[in-house]
Amino acid sequence: MITFNGVTKRYADGTVAVDNLSLEVPTGEITVFVGPSGCGKTTSLRMINRMIDATGGQILLDGVDVKTIDPPTLRRGIGYVIQQAGLFPHRKIVDNVATVPYLLGWDKKKARARAMELLERVGLDLKMADRYPFQLSGGQQQRVGVARALAADPPVLLMDEPFSAVDPIVRASLQEELLRLQSELNKTIVFVTHDIDEAVKLGDRVAVLRVGGKLAQLADPATLLTRPADDFVREFLGRDRGIRRLSFVSGDGLRLRTDLTVPASAEVSSLRGTTEPWLVVVDEDNCPLGWIASKDLPESGTPADVELAPYGTFVKGRDSLRAALDATLLSPSGSAIAVDESGRVVGVAVREALDEELALVAGGVGGVDG
C-alpha cells in the first residue's frame, strides 16, 4: 500500500503543484490520478519513486517513509512507464526490456530470457526482439515500455499517461491488455491520465485532482459517476454519466425469456397464430441469425426465406447492462439477445425486462444529489 499523508510539493519558484494530498493506494489495485493539465498528477506520481522530493508531508510505501529509502533501492521495486514509452533508441527491443535486470547484474542470458517472456506477455511478436524502437509502431513501443517496467517484477507500477500518444483504437487495445495483465499480476498500480473515460475504465479507484494539486474526490468509478462530489467533478466527468454508469452494472440481473427462438429450418405454418410480435431465428448451433416480425411470416416455407431484421447481443456472465441496452437499440424488435461465450442464444431480454432492471438501478442511486 502507498499512503500519501498531507503531501505538499512547492517548487523553487513558489508554485504549489500538490497541496496537502492525503490518500491511500491499496495493494494489488489500480488507482488512477485524473485531472486537468497542471493539476499535479505527474508531480504526485514522481514523488512516490523520489524523482521529485515532497516539500511537506510523507509518502509511505508499506508503512515505510520513502525518504528513508535510498532512491536506487526504492526504484528497484517500482516500475515506471511514460508517454511514448521513452525507449533507448540505440538499443534493441530485447535489451530495452532487459535494462533493469542488466542493472541488477543478472547474467545476459537470464536477462534476455526474461525479456522474451515479457514481450510475449504484453502481446508482442517475438520477432520484434531484435529490432530497434524506430522500427516499431507507437502502440508496439508502448507495449515494450510496459514490458520493460515489469522486467524486475516490481510490486509497484507507476504509469504516467502511457497510452495518450496512440490512436483511439490502439489505445483501447492497450487498455484491455493492461487489465488482462493486471488480472494475472495484481500489481499496485498508480495510473495518471487526463482522460476521464480511461480513468473509469481502468481504475479500481479514481482520484480526481483539481489545479493546485487538491484532491476533489476519491471513489470507485460507479460511485464517481453516480455521486460526483461537486460541480468541478461533475463537469469533469462530462455528459452521459447515467449511461456510462451502466458499464459497471452486470447484465446478469436481466430477466430472460427462452420461448422466443425459432430454428431457421422450422415450417412457418407451425408458427401461425403466435401472439409474439418478434421471434429470434437461430441456426443449427442455436446462434442468432436475426429477428423476424410475426406479421411478416410467409404463407409457407421457412424463416430462412425471409429477410431478417438486424439484432444485437450481449454475453451473459460477462457484459454490462450498458451492452444489453446497446443491443436493444440495434434492433427494431427493441429486445436484446443474450448469448453465451460461444455466441449461442441463452435467452432474450425484452424491453420490459430492461425497463425493470433500469428502474432498479435508478432506484439504487437514491437521494437527490446524484
Ligand X SMILES: Nc1ncnc2c1ncn2[C@@H]1O[C@H](COP(=O)(O)OP(=O)(O)OP(=O)(O)O)[C@@H](O)[C@H]1O
Is-contact 347 338, C-beta < 8 A?
yes
CB of 250 to ligand X, least distance (A): 33
- Residue 231 binding partner per list ligand X, Mg ion, none, with a CB distance cut-off of 5 to 8 Å that depends on partner kind: none
Residues 182-211 that bind ligand X (CB under 6 A): 194
- Residue 27 CB neighbours (<10 A): 13
| 42 or 141: CB nearest Mg ion | 42
Binding to Mg ion by residue 42, rule CB under 5 A?
yes
Rounded-to-integer distance, Cα 125 and Cα 136, Å: 11
Rounded-to-integer distance, Cα 352 and Cα 354, Å: 5
| 9 or 112: CB nearest ligand X | 9
Name which of 1, 4, 353, 12 is nearest 213 in CA terms.
Answer: 4
CB of 46 to ligand X, least distance (A): 8
Rounded-to-integer distance, Cα 33 and Cα 162, Å: 13
CB of 99 to ligand X, least distance (A): 24
Residue nearest to Mg ion (CB): 42
CB of 169 to ligand X, least distance (A): 23
| 29 or 161: CB nearest Mg ion | 161
CB of 42 to ligand X, least distance (A): 3
- Residue 194 binding partner per list ligand X, Mg ion, none, with a CB distance cut-off of 5 to 8 Å that depends on partner kind: ligand X
Q: Stretches 41-49, 135-143, 178-186, 216-224: which one binds Mg ion (CB under 5 A)?
A: 41-49
CB of 361 to ligand X, least distance (A): 33
Contacts with ligand X by CB under 6 A: the residue count is 12
Residue-wise burial string across 59-69, b where 16 or more C-beta atoms lie within 10 A, e elsewhere: bbbeeeebeeb
Strands 78-82 and 30-34 come out as: unpaired
Alpha helix locations (H) across the chain?
41-48, 71-76, 93-97, 99-103, 108-121, 138-150, 168-185, 196-202, 221-226, 231-237, 241-245, 321-329, 351-365
| 46 or 316: CB nearest Mg ion | 46
| 40 or 228: CB nearest Mg ion | 40
CB of 218 to ligand X, least distance (A): 16
The neighbouring-strand residues paired with 21 are: 7
Rounded-to-integer distance, Cα 238 and Cα 306, Å: 44
| 216 or 306: CB nearest Mg ion | 216
| 11 or 110: CB nearest Mg ion | 11
CB of 307 to Mg ion, least distance (A): 53
| 34 or 282: CB nearest ligand X | 34
* Phi, psi for residue 11 in degrees, rounded to 5: -70, 165
- Residue 263 binding partner per list ligand X, Mg ion, none, with a CB distance cut-off of 5 to 8 Å that depends on partner kind: none
| 159 or 354: CB nearest ligand X | 159
Q: What is the dihedral of CA 161, 27, 19, 76, to 10 degrees?
A: -70
Contacts with Mg ion by CB under 5 A: the residue count is 1
Instruction: Give every CB contact of residue 362 below 8 A, 6+ residues apart in sequence.
Output: none
Q: Which three cell numbers stand for residue 259?
A: 420461448
Residues 5-44 that bind ligand X (CB under 6 A): 11, 13, 15, 17, 37-43
Rounded-to-integer distance, Cα 295 and Cα 38, Å: 61
Binding to Mg ion by residue 193, rule CB under 5 A?
no
Between the alpha carbon of residue 340 and those of residues 113, 240, 288, 361, the distances in Å are: 38, 28, 11, 24
CB of 170 to ligand X, least distance (A): 20
- Residue 370 binding partner per list ligand X, Mg ion, none, with a CB distance cut-off of 5 to 8 Å that depends on partner kind: none
- Give me Rg for the CA atoms of the chain: 26
Per CB under 5 A, residues contacting Mg ion are 42
Per CB under 6 A, residues contacting ligand X are 11, 13, 15, 17, 37-43, 194
